[in-house]
Amino acid sequence: MSALIKIFNKQTKELDETKIPLVLKEYRAKIKEAKADLALKDKNIGDALIEQHSLAAYYDEIKAELYTFRSHLEILMKKRAGEVNRLLKEHSKIDHSDRSIDKLILADETYIKYSRLYVEVDEVYNKVRYICKQFEQRAYTLTNIKEILKHELRDVTLTKEYD
């Protein structure tokens, strides 16, 4: 089950900010598993070839979830920026320039909170993206090993008669 489902309020379908740290903790735990999943040492080549595609798909799925998670936070940041902008235009007695509005948005506590969450999610997303690239390299390595072994078999001479 996608960890993303846990961050949405079931009634309002809105992002529940209080659950984000727990979900990030789950994703970080999955990242810790990657080192063992990527390792080829002491693994049977056949087993490694078989698990390669399922593991790559597993981490690609995590990457997609984190991308979606990150996108939801971007939407929240833009929504908050719009709210602050509207509040300033409607209720401020001072006619703010675009630059001063941008600075006031960046100083808004809620916007800062969403920005910090975005940075955390982005960090985890980038780690998973890097893991996915490592799985691509692992696939090339396994293919190369398989080809080397295949070519080595050409040099094997049968010395016994098999009837």
pLDDT in tens, 102-144: 898 899 999 999 999 999 999 999 999 999 999 999 999 999 9
The pLDDT value recorded for residue 163 is 52
Q: Is residue 2 part of a domain?
A: no
Q: Is residue 24 part of a domain?
A: yes
Q: 74 lies in which domain range?
A: 19-145
**Which whole number is the average pLDDT over 44-71?**
92
Given a contact cutoff of 8 angstroms between Cβ atoms, the answer to whether 23 and 7 are in contact is yes
**Which whole number is the average pLDDT over 56-66?**
94
Confidence (pTM)? 0.81
3-state class (DSSP) for residue 159: coil
Number of domains in the chain: 1
Given a contact cutoff of 8 angstroms between Cβ atoms, the answer to whether 27 and 3 are in contact is yes
Q: Is residue 26 part of a domain?
A: yes
The tens digit of pLDDT for each residue in 78-100 reads 999 999 988 888 887 788 888 88
Dihedral of the alpha carbons of 63, 66, 67, 72, in degrees to the nearest 10: 170
Measure the CA–CA gap between 103 and 116, rounded to whole angstroms: 17
Query: Which one is predicted more confidently, 37 or 155?
Result: 37
Q: Is residue 138 part of a domain?
A: yes
